Chains A and B, each alone.
Chain A
């Protein structure tokens, strides 16, 4: 059954509007709430969190640092002080548990920009196949670390749209809006989900971080799939769904195991037959709808393409 019109219409009919948007709403709330925590200080004088996503201090005690920025500093030849290392370790442990790219879909301010670009792209019916490989971001990640080593500076942070936007919103945007607009235009006109799902080396870093994360989207109820394709249409990393959703015959378990999955949960929202749900990575048995018990212990492994 091919769904008509906007993806998720069936889900709205069968589950109601709120349940068909619950993870999207939660995600927007999370993104804006975290942004407001940072903005409450400069805007209202409520200094709950100071700093920005690169490094921050919450309530004057809890240090949090972006491990990717710290990795660049180390590559550039500077061993940071304890505060930054402690902050980065806390962040790393958190994302090891909840999924690295949770950062991308629940925290990163650029996601609001690229989601808006994607929404507009769909509305305007802009199509066209991308010629970009989704692996490009990993190459960019490697190149950035190499440039840091060679140039001895945190070079990427001079152009990184993610930190530029977040820092700009808090400390004054300057010309960073041009960089952010470039990301928007790129996603709108050039490549579907171009920045977040093809280029962003920060996302690539968090992907690698979340390779073995605990919390995953699971397609345990995959036998109920009615092939409406809505999950593919909304997913920013379409390639991650197929193995879990359609892999029962090949002995692949129901856990969406790719590190590129951002745990955004939009597939859960738009699925009328409730195929997906958030769960743990364990019990990835090919039991539901399994035709071949011999493959039941097979894990799909990590896929970062």
Chain B
């Protein structure tokens, strides 16, 4: 027999039995408390997700995802491209949860989103019906120094493979200051359209990709809540938010005016304005001398 729990009346009186019982209970309570604390700390640590690990489309925000994912792997099984994998014990991703690494196998963005359909728990949100609305992460052209397009070459591979070409990735023209006469075609990610599928990162021809998909919270900056762009507000309201400028007054001598938009300084020649200055500066100086005599 393994249990050391004594029979209630094992002692001469009830006291030794009760003492033993309290001792055992205390020990059990101690073990369980230590276990709970350890588990709690471990679970907090496991909340961090490495930057290269992306969740499947429709995944809830990471904290909610970890509270809802049952670690069953049904999404992994229903992925027709074997993109998804379940984290093994010892991986950096919370064990048993699905993820993919874009550089290895990117998401092919199936129209029917089979991984979301397979999820029994709702960790992958079924309200995602249009794969273009998925936000698995955000592509960031992180290394300008090694990106071939930044050198003035026409690699363009990330742009070409992008499922939302000309929307999620556009090529923006810049002057090539090195050659002085060519253009740079800068691949530019537009967060409004990027699903984070990772095809750009997967296809980047460099040994280490210059464009990478990061989790949204890593990839995006965020202006303060109170920030307003004047031009946007103006478009929205039809007029500037601040009071309009008063017409600027130039304190010019009479006979002169200033046209800001076109001609600049204008001398109104028809009026023969009398200036305090003679055309010959010497005369002016001599004037003062004559007065003194």
A: which residues have CB within 8 A of B?
Answer: 41, 47, 50-52, 54-57, 63, 65-66, 69-70, 73, 76-81, 83-84, 87, 129-136, 139-140, 142-144, 146-148, 150-159, 163-164, 167-168, 170-176, 178-179, 191-193, 197-198, 238-239, 305
Since A143-B36, A173-B89, A197-B2 are in contact, a sample of 7 more A-B pairs with Cβ atoms closer than 8 Å, ordered by chain A residue number, is A73-B121, A84-B120, A129-B2, A152-B66, A153-B46, A171-B73, A238-B2
Q: Is B234 in the interface zone, CB < 8 Å from A?
A: no
Inter-subunit contact A73/B32 (CB<8 Å): no
Q: Is B86 in the interface zone, CB < 8 Å from A?
A: yes
Q: A164-B95, A238-B1 are in contact. Are A152 and B63 (CB under 8 A)?
A: yes
Q: Is B152 in the interface zone, CB < 8 Å from A?
A: no
Which residues on the B side are within 8 Å of A173 (C-beta)? 88-89
| Interface residue from A47, A158, A198 paired with B42 (Cβ < 8 Å) | A158
Inter-subunit contact B70/A65 (CB<8 Å): yes
Interchain nearest-CB distance for A67 vs B (Å)? 11
Stretch at the interface among B23-31, B153-161, B214-222: B23-31
Interchain nearest-CB distance for A37 vs B (Å)? 14
Inter-subunit contact B44/A151 (CB<8 Å): yes
Which B-chain residue is minimally distant from A38 (CB atoms)?
A: B73
Inter-subunit contact A164/B40 (CB<8 Å): no
20 A–B contacts from the bound complex (CB under 8 Å): A51-B73, A54-B72, A55-B72, A55-B74, A78-B123, A81-B121, A84-B70, A87-B120, A131-B4, A136-B31, A139-B28, A139-B29, A147-B39, A150-B40, A153-B47, A157-B95, A158-B96, A171-B86, A174-B88, A193-B2
Inter-subunit contact B32/A157 (CB<8 Å): no
| Interface residue from B40, B71, B73 paired with A147 (Cβ < 8 Å) | B40
Inter-subunit contact B70/A69 (CB<8 Å): yes
Interface size class of B (residues with CB under 8 A): 35 or more
Which A-chain residue is minimally distant from B2 (CB atoms)?
A: A130
Q: Is B258 in the interface zone, CB < 8 Å from A?
A: no
Interchain nearest-CB distance for B80 vs A (Å)? 13
Most buried by B among A78, A163, A168, A192: A78
Which residues on the B side are within 8 Å of A146 (C-beta)? 36
Which A-chain residue is minimally distant from B88 (CB atoms)?
A: A174
Inter-subunit contact A133/B3 (CB<8 Å): yes
Which residues on the B side are within 8 Å of A167 (C-beta)? 71, 73, 86, 96
Q: A155-B42, A163-B96, A171-B86 are in contact. Are A78 and B67 (CB under 8 A)?
A: yes
Which B-chain residue is minimally distant from A170 (CB atoms)?
A: B73
Which B-chain residue is minimally distant from A197 (CB atoms)?
A: B2
Inter-subunit contact B88/A171 (CB<8 Å): yes
Which A-chain residue is minimally distant from B34 (CB atoms)?
A: A143
Interchain nearest-CB distance for A212 vs B (Å)? 24
68-82 of chain B: CB within 8 A of chain A: 68-74, 76-78
Interchain nearest-CB distance for B97 vs A (Å)? 9
| Interface residue from A52, A63, A155, A170 paired with B39 (Cβ < 8 Å) | A155
Q: A135 to B24, alpha carbons, bound, how many Å?
A: 10
Inter-subunit contact A144/B39 (CB<8 Å): yes
Which residues on the B side are within 8 Å of A131 (C-beta)? 4, 27
Most buried by B among A70, A76, A238: A76
Which residues on the B side are within 8 Å of A80 (C-beta)? 68, 70, 120-122
Q: A197 to B71, alpha carbons, bound, how many Å?
A: 25
Inter-subunit contact A147/B3 (CB<8 Å): no
Interchain nearest-CB distance for A207 vs B (Å)? 15
